[in-house]
Amino acid sequence: MAALPKRIVKETERLSKEPVPGISAVPHDDNLRYFDVTIDGPSQSPYEGGLFRLELFLPDDYPMTPPKVRFLTKIYHPNIDRLGRICLDVLKSNWSPALQIRTILLSIQALLGAPNPDDPLANDVAQAWKEDQSKAIETAKQWTAQHAARPTA
């Protein structure tokens, strides 16, 4: 495999040295482009208290193309589908090579705090969200408790 670009080395270094509050991203030893990510559910959201696991992969032409990010933890969210794929502009059309792993993960954390049922990826969830928001939030809370529970230390 080709040597790791300076940019990826620098980003990785900074992620471990100055981690973003509520977010961790650790590269695999055998593939430094593949990261294990966890994101804390934002407070005052239905995901509060949950710990969500994600995978993040930096393609060969990163940062010219965005990282590929996917939720591994099941989550009830109108913009995240059953496979964990995320509907977020900065991961697709609005990606910019000046964005970074940390900024993308922050955007995802923000997306948890502000679900957008008008631009759905999981149609059924978005539908439910629009029809009865408080019930949908309740479900999201239940899913959080059920699937995103923190490992007891």
Partner 1 sequence: MKFGQVFKEALRNEGFPPEWISSAISYSQLKKCINRLTAELAQVGLDPVTLEKLLRHVEDYNKSAEASTADEEFRPFEYILSDGERGEGGKKKVFRPKLLFYVEEATGALHSAKLDKETREKLQMLAVETGMSDLRVYEEEESDGKGGAADGKESNGHANGNGARSHSPSLCAIEVPLTSDTEFFTKLTTQLSSLEALQLKEEKRMHTEIEDLGRQIARFTDPDRKANKKLLAVWRQIFQLYLEEAVFFGTTERDHSAHGAEKATTRFNEFCVKIKETGLVGKIKKREQMEALETFMHINKEILQGLRFGEINHTAMSKILKKFDKRTALSIKPHLPPTLTYPQFSQHLAKAVCAEVNTQILSHVPQIDDYSCPMCMDIKWRPVKLGCGHTFCIRCLIVMQTRKQNRCPLCREKCVEKANSDNLDLELADFLKKWFPEEVRQKQKYNELMAGVDAYGEVYKEKCAVM
Under the binding rule (CB under 8 A), the answer on residue 59 touching partner 1 is no
Phi then psi for residue 134, to 5 deg, are -65, -35
Residue 87: active-site member = yes
- 74: DSSP letter: -
- Whether 85 contacts 65, CB under 8 Å: no
Going residue by residue from 86 to 125, which x/- string records binding to partner 1, judged by CB under 8 A?
----------xxxx--------------------------
Secondary structure of residue 147 in the 3-state scheme: helix
Minimal CA–CA distance to 44: which of 110, 107, 118?
110
Under the binding rule (CB under 8 A), the answer on residue 11 touching partner 1 is yes
Under the binding rule (CB under 8 A), the answer on residue 28 touching partner 1 is no
Number of residues in contact with partner 1, rule: CB under 8 A?
Answer: 15
Residues in contact with partner 1 by CB under 8 A are 5-7, 10-11, 18-21, 63-64, 96-99
